[in-house]
Amino acid sequence: MAEKKGKILVSDRQIKERLETARIIAVVGLSPKPERDSYDVARYMQDNGYTIVPVRPAQKEILGEKAYKTLDRVPGPVDIVNVFRKSEDIMPHVDEAIAVGCKVFWMQLGIENREAAERLTDHGIDVIMNRCIKVDHASYFKKNILV
């Protein structure tokens, strides 16, 4: 039997479904600085019931959660890998995401890498590119609020 192939997700319905079923989000490139977008987005997701797993070398803890040097050092299951890295810096995280067994690899707004997406979908992982997880979550679940 052929292995399930992942998809590049673009429809609101598919993305909303992934957010509804996810509970654990590993955030690659999560900054410890509250003024940074990655911190704001991760804090918002944490405030909305998701467990955040920070992935940031040289940090022991961010947002009250233990931080890991690399994604492949994260113990246990991860539903979404949310990446705050430049498009050209995505590939090193692909094999780590495959190893951790995530369901979705999410590249934040402004980040796209087709080569990474192809490798991930070949391994059964769905990919979302160039979208903000906070904006999408708010638009699907928090009607009438500003983000």
The answer to whether residue 76 is domain-embedded is yes
CB 50 within 8 A of CB 75: no
pTM: 0.94
Q: From CA 2, how far away is CA 123, in angstroms rounded?
A: 11
Q: From CA 105, how far away is CA 80, in angstroms rounded?
A: 6
Residue-wise pLDDT tens digits, 61-118: 999 999 999 999 999 899 999 999 999 999 999 999 999 999 999 999 999 999 999 9
Q: In terms of residue numbers, what domain contains 129?
A: 12-141
pLDDT (0 to 100) of residue 1 = 44
The answer to whether residue 1 is domain-embedded is no
The answer to whether residue 98 is domain-embedded is yes
Nearest residue to 42 (alpha-carbon basis) of 21, 17, 61: 61
pLDDT (0 to 100) of residue 147 = 45
The answer to whether residue 45 is domain-embedded is yes
- DSSP secondary structure string, 84-115? -S-GGG-HHHHHHHHHHT-SEEEEPTT---HH
The domain tally of the chain equals 1
The answer to whether residue 2 is domain-embedded is no
The answer to whether residue 127 is domain-embedded is yes
pLDDT at 2 over 80: no
CB 42 within 8 A of CB 27: yes
3-state class of 74 per DSSP?
coil
Residue-wise pLDDT tens digits, 127-143: 999 999 999 999 999 76
pLDDT (0 to 100) of residue 134 = 97
The answer to whether residue 5 is domain-embedded is no
The answer to whether residue 16 is domain-embedded is yes
Residue-wise pLDDT tens digits, 19-56: 999 999 999 999 999 999 999 999 999 999 999 999 99
Query: Residue 118 is part of a domain; what is its CATH number?
Result: 3.40.50.720
pLDDT (0 to 100) of residue 142 = 79
Q: From CA 60, how far away is CA 62, in angstroms rounded?
A: 7
- Give the mean model confidence (pLDDT) for residues 119-124: 97
